[in-house]
Amino acid sequence: PTIRQLLSPSQVSSKDALVEVNGWVKSVRRQKNVVFAVVSDGTCASGMQAVLKTDLAPKSLTNGASVRLCGRLVESRGRGQARELQVEEVNVTGDSDPDAYPIQKQSLSTEYLRDHVHLRSRTDTNAAMLRVRNSLLHSIHNFFEGEDFCYVHTPILTSSDCEGAGETFRVQPTASIPANGPDIFAPVSNITTPAPSSSTENPENKEFFGKPTYLTVSSQLYLEAIASSLSRVYTLSPAFRAERSQTSRHLAEFWMLEAEWAFIHSVDDLCSLVENSVKATLRSFLEQEDDISALWGNNDAAEKDRRLSVLRQARDASSWPRMTYTKAIEILQKQHEASPFEFEPIWGNGLQSEHEQWLAASLGGPVFVTDYPKAIKPFYMRLNSDKIPVGEEGHSRETVACFDLLIPEVGELVGGSVREERLDFLLEALCAHGLASRGPNGIDVKDEYKWYVDLRRYGSAPHGGFGLGFERLVSWVTGIENVRECIAMPRWAGRMVV
Ligand code: 4AD
Ligand code: MG
Domains of the chain in start order, with CATH, are 3-101 (2.40.50.140), 125-151+228-421+461-485 (3.30.930.10)
With the most atoms of ligand 1 within 8 angstroms of its CB, the residue from 152, 169, 218 to mutate is 218
323 Cα: distance to centroid of ligand 2 (angstroms): 16
256 Cα: distance to centroid of ligand 1 (angstroms): 7
Q: Is 428 in the pocket of ligand 1 (CB under 6 A)?
A: no
Closest residue to atom 24 of ligand 1, CA basis: 469
Percent helix, strand, coil in the chain, to 5, is 35, 25, 40
Closest residue to atom 29 of ligand 1, CA basis: 250
Three-state DSSP string of the chain: CCHHHHHCCCCCCCCCCEEEEEEEEEEEEECCCEEEEEEECCCCCCCEEEEEEHHHCCCCCCCCCEEEEEEEEEECCCCCCCEEEEEEEEEEEECCCCCCCCCCCCCCCHHHHHHCCCCHHHCHHHHHHHHHHHHHHHHHHHHHHHCCCEECCCCCEECCCCCCCCCCCEECCCCCCECCCCCCCCCHHHCCCCCCCCCCECHHHHHCCCCCEEECCCCHHHHHHHHHHHCEEEEEEEEECCCCCCCCCCCCEEEEEEEEEECCCCHHHHHHHHHHHHHHHHHHHHHCHHHHHHHHCCCCHHHHHHHHHHHHHHHHCCCCCEEEHHHHHHHHHHHHHHCCCCCCCCCCCCCCHHHHHHHHHHHCCCEEEECCEHHHCCCCECECCCCCCCHHHHHHHCEECEEEEEECCCEEEEEEEEECCCHHHHHHHHHHCCCEEEECCEEEECHHHHHHHHHHHCCCCCEEEEEEEHHHHHHHHHCCCCHHHCCCCCCECCECCC
Q: Which atom of ligand 1 is nearest to the CA of 252?
A: 28
Question: In this predicted structure, what is the pLDDT of residue 197?
Answer: 47
Low-confidence ranges of the chain (pLDDT < 50): 191, 196-199
| E strand intervals along 14-53 | 18-30, 34-40, 48-53
429 Cα: distance to centroid of ligand 2 (angstroms): 18
Contact at 8 Å (CB) between 93 and 109? no
pLDDT digits (tens, 9 = 90+) for 28-39: 999 999 999 999
416 Cα: distance to centroid of ligand 2 (angstroms): 8
Closest residue to atom 1 of ligand 1, CA basis: 415
Closest residue to atom 26 of ligand 1, CA basis: 250
Q: Other C-beta atoms within 10 Å of 274: how many?
A: 24
Nearest ligand to residue 417 Cα: 1
Nearest ligand to residue 418 Cα: 1
398 Cα: distance to centroid of ligand 1 (angstroms): 23
410 Cα: distance to centroid of ligand 2 (angstroms): 13
Q: Is 469 in the pocket of ligand 1 (CB under 6 A)?
A: yes
SS3 383: strand
Q: How far apart are CA 38 and CA 100, in angstroms?
A: 20
Nearest ligand to residue 351 Cα: 2
CA angle 326, 330, 335 (to 5 degrees): 145
* Contacts for 244 with CB less than 8 Å, ≥ 6 apart: 493
Question: In this predicted structure, what is the pLDDT of residue 396?
Answer: 74
Question: In this predicted structure, what is the pLDDT of residue 111?
Answer: 96
Q: Which atom of ligand 1 is nearest to the CA of 162?
A: 8
415 Cα: distance to centroid of ligand 2 (angstroms): 5
Amino acid at 107: S
DSSP calls for 219-251: SHHHHHHHHHHHSEEEEEEEEE-------SS--
Q: Which residues pair with 443 in a beta bridge?
A: 438
* ipTM (interface pTM): 0.99
Tell which residue, 378, 369, 379, 360, has the closest CA to residue 404: 369
pLDDT digits (tens, 9 = 90+) for 136-169: 999 999 999 999 999 999 999 999 888 888 899 9
What burial class does residue 131 get, using C-beta atoms within 10 Å of its C-beta: 0-12 exposed, 13-18 middle, 19+ buried? buried
Nearest ligand to residue 378 Cα: 1
Find how far residue 428's CA is from the centre of its chain. 33
Contact at 8 Å (CB) between 351 and 335? no
Q: Is 473 in the pocket of ligand 1 (CB under 6 A)?
A: no
Q: Is 465 in the pocket of ligand 1 (CB under 6 A)?
A: yes
Q: Is 220 in the pocket of ligand 1 (CB under 6 A)?
A: yes
Q: Which atom of ligand 1 is nearest to the CA of 378?
A: 8
Question: In this predicted structure, what is the pLDDT of residue 199?
Answer: 47
Q: Is 253 in the pocket of ligand 1 (CB under 6 A)?
A: no
Q: How far apart are CA 201 and CA 204, in angstroms?
A: 9
Q: Is 478 in the pocket of ligand 1 (CB under 6 A)?
A: no
Question: In this predicted structure, what is the pLDDT of residue 437?
Answer: 95
Q: Is 250 in the pocket of ligand 1 (CB under 6 A)?
A: yes
